[in-house]
Structure 1
């Protein structure tokens, strides 16, 4: 219990720090949100009126203080562009992002487990070296570029899947594959390295001496210990996965938080930017805490705190 309380307090510090840094960066970026809201043909008086209405004429530290006060009451503010509550906007977009992130993470874990289990017994062979080269080539490719290639070949030339949007499960397949494949390749190499190390342990030799087959040794004896570092990486990689969601949703026009954040940055919609960043930070902190607790389940020898 003491451990959980400490982690929750530390999470609160991280979230407040995230809002402060994001708020400062948003107001350091060139551009005037009031001018964007008013439109390109608005006169100076209209822009000044909108700036007063949005409280943009106040000092930045005063605006941030007002934001924290509203946040303490669960109020994320209203979008500059639509004047809708940010909380309602996020609530509408979150399910689409959650679905895409879950599908991408599921694909990554499946690819990671399959790739690691298949290549670990082949360590040092030409198959292993070839898999390493392909993995490095795939990991060096940007998500945006992979998405454009997938759209062109799978969606446009071969017409196997829709080009974008969100209508049914077919619209989910391509963005989820792009989002999860790169992470899955990384997980596969990490698990491969851990398994190769674990397979030389004494308890693995003892299991083989007792007559355990290669499949049982890998899946039962080696995988549990080799997967512990992978659990940590999955939790830490959640932030990277969210970054990938932003690019993937933008490429495939997926109506989630990533696309919302991209549009908000273009329009300098500060409340929406702050809301998406804060929600992403909450998800990252929660995922890291969940991984810590899962560590305890996978390996009871680990004590929290």
Structure 2
């Protein structure tokens, strides 16, 4: 009779345990449930985009005479998009550039300030640090609509309403971004690396820009995306601050077109076509930035 040595039996038991753990998440019932939930979530997010694409390809008659979830008798997508871009002397392109200015500049600067503040709260010790962080948490809970009217009175007092600055300056503040940066910096930036930089004679700004920012790439990408989308979709602040149509972002411009649909039905095509075009920059941004998330998730992984 052959007996298996104790170390071999122990390793075999460990291998069986690991195999059982790996196979536990592969049960057919669990796989089906997870797949069904993900499919429902995907449908929930994709159906509105599908509806916009379908209805942006219709004429006014087909828009009201056919199903909203299938194409009409005539495919006029490119004609409708051309009408959007040429309406009123190409005002939509001006709105798109305004949105890119507000969202691009606002997202980049707000992310930099948020990451710098979060890094300072996570890695430096100073009096009142917890109070500052508590105030930041309070800022996360305050909706933007609650601050729009006070901001209007403030900007009106200094003569900045109805200017680009009236939308840009409030966009430079991101309490959620600072909160996220503080949490991520505390976990992703080792104190030993910072101390090594100080021993090598690097200043605090150089350590932040050369060492910390590289470690914070996933958080930076997340903050940029959230801030860009938030500013791009912002409606109430531009509505309060702006009166000149040439300063409108896409959201305010499309609402202006929608308000004219009661007396001019052709504005339905302009509004829906403009909504379709407004989604494209967000989709491109997500496709471009997703590789940074994948890279950030694998940083620090250990081969087994």
Query: Does residue 20 of structure 2 align to residue 20 of structure 1?
Result: no
Greater C-alpha radius of gyration: 2
2:73, 2:170 → 1: CA distance?
36
Residue 161 of structure 1 is matched in structure 2 by 159
The aligned runs of 1:1-305 (5 Å cut-off) are 17-22=47-52, 54-61=61-68, 64-66=70-72, 69-71=75-77, 73=78, 75-76=80-81, 78=83, 85=87, 88-122=90-124, 126-155=127-156, 158=157, 160-164=158-162, 171-181=163-173, 183=174, 185-200=175-190, 203-204=193-194, 206-207=196-197, 210=200, 212=202, 214-244=204-234, 246-253=235-242, 254-268=247-261, 269-292=267-290
Q: Please list every run of 5 or more consecutive structure 2 residues that lacks an aligned counterpart in the other structure.
A: 1-42, 262-266
Q: Deviations over 1:177-234 (max 9, x none)?
A: 12332x3x32222222222223436544554565655444433222211233221342
TM-score of the superposed pair, with normalisation by structure 2: 0.64
Q: Deviations over 1:70-96 (max 9, x none)?
A: 22x4632757xxxx7499442232122
User: Residues 205 and 99 (structure 1 numbering): CA distance in 2 closer, same or farther, change over 3 Å?
Assistant: closer
- Give the number of aligned pairs: 247
Preserved contact between residue 257 and residue 271 of structure 2 (Cα < 8 Å): yes
2:142, 2:276 → 1: CA distance?
28
Q: Please list every run of 5 or more consecutive structure 1 residues that lacks an aligned counterpart in the other structure.
A: 1-12, 27-51, 165-170
TM-score of the superposed pair, with normalisation by structure 1: 0.64
2:110, 2:74 → 1: CA distance?
37
1:205, 1:53 → 2: CA distance?
66
User: Residues 119 and 241 (structure 1 numbering): CA distance in 2 closer, same or farther, change over 3 Å?
Assistant: same
1:211, 1:275 → 2: CA distance?
57
1:22, 1:87 → 2: CA distance?
24
User: Residues 206 and 67 (structure 1 numbering): CA distance in 2 closer, same or farther, change over 3 Å?
Assistant: farther
